[in-house]
Chains A and B, each alone.
Chain A
Amino acid sequence: MAELTAAPHPGNGIDPIRAEYMALTRRKRLYGGLTLLVFVLLMLSGFTLADSRNAGGFWDGLHRIFDFPAQVLGEAWDKIDLMPAHLVKFFPALIETINIAAVSTLVGAMLAIVLSLLSTRGLARFPALIPLFRRIMDVMRAVPEIVIALVLIFILGGGPVPAMIAIAFHTAGALGKLFSEVNENASLKPVEGLESVGANWTQRMLLGVVPQVAPNYLSYGLLRFEINIRASAILGFVGAGGIGYELKNAMSWGQGKFDEAAAIFLLLFGAIVVFDQVSSHFRNKLTHGGGA
């Protein structure tokens, strides 16, 4: 009521406040609109640029997008009786891909545990070297798997080992960063307790820190495993064994082997979905219903 009576008087009351507020809102809206405009322009110009650099145009290709899947499915359907045999034939390759992912996750995680403990404040063995270990992890994380894989394929020849080393290297860096964030939240009391009874650094870390953070480690490790299955399939395509390599062979053969390609697609898709579900189930259990 009081405002209503005060409103007609100019110069005081809520009018200037309202004007100021409206100006503020307008300015905010203007900035927001400009940001949006710049973003839209960036997307559009980027899109046209990428389109012009592409071998085939976007609009020409759009209606052909289903041609290839239709071709593959058609051929697979024609030879549907061969499908079980193909699935059995390529199953070992799938196992190899999963093995690559599993080993590289394991090895990478072990390396990551050491690196992360060495680079966490309060836990580090050599506190002065924390920045060094952090930079090492940054570099390891930045290396795309394909770089190491290609170099190692040149030296070691094709096969699962180059892919394994390449993925493990990147995994160590990526997990190391996440692990060291987990470590920072660990309670230092068990560590101090162990120190008071004369435990050395390795014992303090293994018995004092790792049991506290193991569920988080495991959860991040499972997530990495999912990512690494995809990575190891891709690396197979550039020459490091497993199902990606079989896929490349079937694809470069072209028509006539599309039924094999379909079988490989099916296996890879199935494996990714299954491991995604399993790992997210366990991760949910670890984070929510966890044994903590």
Chain B
Amino acid sequence: MSTMALKSQADGLFRRKRLVAFGLPALIVVYLAYIVFAFDIPGLAERARMDNARALVADSYSYKTHVTRDNRSGDVSIAIEGERKGAYADGTAPAWVTLGDQTVIDLEDGHVVRFAETGVSYDVPGFGLITAEPGPRGVQTNLDPENVPDWINLSKNRMTITTDAGRVTVTRNRTEVFRYFAGWELFFFTLDSPYHGHGAGEILFGPRIDPARGNIAGALHDFWHNAMWRHAEVAWAMFETVLMAFLGTMGAAIVALPLAFLAARNFAPLGALRFAVRRVFDFVRGVDGLIWTIILARAFGPGPMTGALAILFTDTGSFGKMFSEALENVDRKQIEGLQSTGARPLQRYRFGVIPQITPVLLSQVLYYLESNTRSATIIGAITGGGIGLLLTQAMITQKDWEEVSYYIVLILLMVMLMDWLSGKLRQRLIAGGR
């Protein structure tokens, strides 16, 4: 009888296990299927802007130099990425552009573009000479409009030729030639710096380049104040982000510690007070960092202080909860021992309780410091401060993708450094605490 009962019991158990083993994955699959429709994932392919993705990727590892002629005045200007900060001074040009009556732009591999008196000619190897004449009635070309290869885009007022060597755009007002290069442009020195184009060896050991100042000092100054990449500002923004995380985390720990005593069962005899303090912790934790950021930004305006306070408020709740739990787990014997020597309450806390909870507390605080560095990036993007702000600004302009990738790399390095640092400190703390 009993074996029968056992067997039926085991059968029931197996049935239940089987149900869970198949039911749970099935449930997940059903949920994911619902999400596919709720988030309109089939429509994603249409909405996705792959040209944006391509521009983003291409721009993050290459840059282009614009050679532009104003077709009305005939002036030719050369600028890296077409920005004023990257413009060549009048009368100067990179080696592949020859200025003069006729501007000759060598795009390499036999591709040559010439700006004549008014017209433009582009010698494409294996295709022939394309000429274009911008005039008041549009752009006249020697191409047969019925039979244009697909790398040329031709309309009445515009001609665009895209080849592997570069891109030529002719409109009535302007003629533009782009040439692409790998790398990040002017990362170290802008064109107006005398150190542009000199290698590290030359700057460190070579003769003085700028007679007014020493090589190393001058190069550092020009690098630090690079107008294109703004290294000084970026470094400051990174520091601001770390500062937000540090002030927020440490401030929260300082505020939470005394409050945690009031919320711990073994230290606060008054039940009503304990309940109230706990609800305060729950409240500040529940009013998420996002809401705190918005409320505080209204009072204090954008900046690092607002971000630090937002982190402080949210984490006071989390720390308060964790600290009070740690306090409830302290060993009473040490406190009683101190009491027997006649220690006053404050002394009992200082020597009987704090040493017991310090390792737990510090390791939690350090863990939050790392995670808050990430939060500070996001909060900075919302409230306007630190590297998060620079990142969103660079995103909004939608053209300086090399700067976006630079910031992303810096953020990653910053977070990984904080992670490493907090891990190292925690390790030492746990090893030293024993």
Contacts and interface: CB of A to CB of B under 8 A. Distances in A.
A273 B382 contact: no
Nearest to B240: A53
Nearest to A64: B299
Contacts of A151: 56, 395, 404
A58 interface: yes
A72 to B, nearest CB: 9
A140 B219 CA distance: 36
B47 A157 contact: yes
A272 to B, nearest CB: 5
B289 A142 contact: no
Interface string B399-429: 0000010001001100110010000000000
Contact of A58 (B38, B243, B295, B300): B300
Interface in B278-296: 282, 285-291, 294-296
Nearest to B17: A211
B395 A154 contact: yes
B302 interface: yes
Interface size class of A (residues with CB under 8 A): 35 or more
A269 interface: yes
Contact of B416 (A67, A142, A269): A142
B141 to A, nearest CB: 35
Most buried by A among B38, B44, B56, B286: B286
Q: Tell me the dominant secondary structure on chain A's binding face.
A: helix
Interface in A14-56: 39, 42-43, 46-47, 49-51, 53-56
Given A43-B250, A50-B247, A265-B291, A234 B300 contact: no
B1 interface: no
Given A54-B303, A155-B49, A146 B240 contact: no
Given A46-B243, A50-B244, A55-B302, A103 B381 contact: no
Contacts of B251: 43
Contact of B290 (A51, A102, A147, A234): A234
A147 B56 CA distance: 14
Interface in B382-396: 382, 384-385, 388, 391-392, 395
Contact of B286 (A42, A62, A235, A273): A273
A141 interface: yes
Interface stretch (A78-86, A113-121, A159-167, A195-203): A159-167
B377 A273 contact: no
Interface in A217-232: 230
A233 B299 contact: no
Q: Tell me the dominant secondary structure on chain B's binding face.
A: helix
A89 B356 CA distance: 50
B300 A160 contact: no
B398 interface: yes
B52 interface: yes
Nearest to B380: A146
Contact of A54 (B301, B388, B408): B301
A68 B392 contact: no
Interface stretch (B2-10, B189-197, B256-264, B304-312): B304-312
A184 interface: no
Contacts of B39: 99, 103, 159-161, 164
A67 B298 contact: yes
Contacts of B412: 139, 142-143
A156 B243 contact: no
B204 interface: no
A144 interface: yes
B116 interface: no
Interface string B234-268: 00000010011011001100100000000000000
B35 A155 contact: no
B44 A269 contact: no
B278 to A, nearest CB: 13
Contacts of A57: 300
A138 interface: yes
A145 B295 contact: no
A276 B391 CA distance: 32
13 contacts: A50-B240, A50-B247, A55-B303, A56-B300, A57-B300, A61-B300, A62-B299, A67-B298, A102-B31, A139-B412, A142-B412, A143-B415, A164-B39
Interface of B: 28, 31-32, 35, 38-41, 44, 47-50, 52-53, 56, 240, 243-244, 246-247, 250-251, 254, 282, 285-291, 294-296, 298-306, 308, 374, 377-378, 381-382, 384-385, 388, 391-392, 395, 398, 404, 408, 411-412, 415-416, 419
Q: 3 closest Cβ contacts across the A-B interface?
A: A55-B301, A54-B303, A56-B301
Given A146-B391, A156-B48, 18 more contacts: A42-B246, A50-B247, A50-B303, A53-B304, A54-B303, A54-B385, A55-B301, A61-B301, A142-B374, A146-B378, A150-B392, A154-B52, A155-B48, A155-B56, A238-B392, A268-B290, A276-B282, A276-B285
